[in-house]
Amino acid sequence: MAHVLDEPPPALSRSIVYVIDDDDSQRHALSSLFRSTGMHAESFASCDAFLQFERPEVPSCLLLDVRLRGYSGLVFQTQEAQRRDPVPIVFMTAHGDVWMCAKAMKAGAVDFLTKPLRDQEVLDAVAAGIERDAARRQSVELNADLQRRYATLTPREREVLSHVLRGSLNKQIAADLALSEVTVKMHRGQVMHKMGSRSVADLVQKAGLLGLAPLRWN
């Protein structure tokens, strides 16, 4: 019996579950299961049909049958991994084996379920996939925001930032850049403001995410 969520977690209620299975009854059963938990589902009889669907930019997970008519789910997994925004995959099969499971998991599958499927097992696996995708999207969004913030820094502010990351004090930065300490303090304040940082530790962490030069403390 399906485990029904009274109020799905935010990541789940804003998400989409994709189902690819060439068995009509299986697709309908899974779609009904997800709807009963308040989750939105889109089902497809083939990978080609899925690829033609315009995916909304929301956390998602793909429940994929390993063996489809004329197509291998493992091959599709390899192709999907090459996309800019690959969807996490939960495999399902009635004819799985250890080698197939190991190959899928090594390639990044969230889970590998054997038919007949158990409702709670499916829900748990899909929830894990959606949470993984939500975390990935949040990371991408954070990095894009940091890139935008860094782009607003002036050349002089970037110079000051590089000195801050080396652990230099305002006095040292002023001497190195032939500026007054007051000017350095002003530039440093602008850097902190534009990067949305309230502490040097936070600034250092964001610089690391941007791939800026590692620290060389004096």
- b/e sequence 55-65, b meaning 16+ C-beta within 10 Å: eeeebbbbbbb
Give the confidence band of 60 by pLDDT, cuts at 50, 70, 90. Answer: very high
- pTM to 2 decimals? 0.73
Are 135 and 156 members of one domain? no
Q: Report the chain's mean pLDDT, rounded to a whole number.
A: 87
113: domain range?
10-141
CB-hemisphere CA count at 13 Å for 97?
A: 3
Greater pLDDT, 100 or 9: 100
In which element (H, E) is residue 43 found? strand 40-44
* AA letter at 132: R
Q: Does the residue 90 lie in any domain? A: yes
Give the confidence band of 12 by pLDDT, cuts at 50, 70, 90. Answer: low
Percent of the chain scoring above 70 in pLDDT: 91
Domain boundary among 118, 141, 164: 141
Question: Is the pLDDT score of 1 beyond 70?
Answer: no
Are 43 and 83 members of one domain? yes
Q: Does the residue 214 lie in any domain? A: no
Average pLDDT over residues 129-145: 93
Average pLDDT over residues 69-92: 86
Are 132 and 184 members of one domain? no
Helix axes 24-36, 119-151, angle to 10 degrees: 70
CATH number at residue 161: 1.10.10.10
CATH number at residue 108: 3.40.50.2300
How many domains, the chain?
A: 2
The pLDDT assigned to 153 comes to 96
Query: Would you say 61 and 109 are in contact if contact means Cβ atoms under 8 Å apart?
Result: no
Q: Does the residue 204 lie in any domain? A: yes
Q: Does the residue 216 lie in any domain? A: no
Query: Would you say 211 and 161 are in contact if contact means Cβ atoms under 8 Å apart?
Result: no
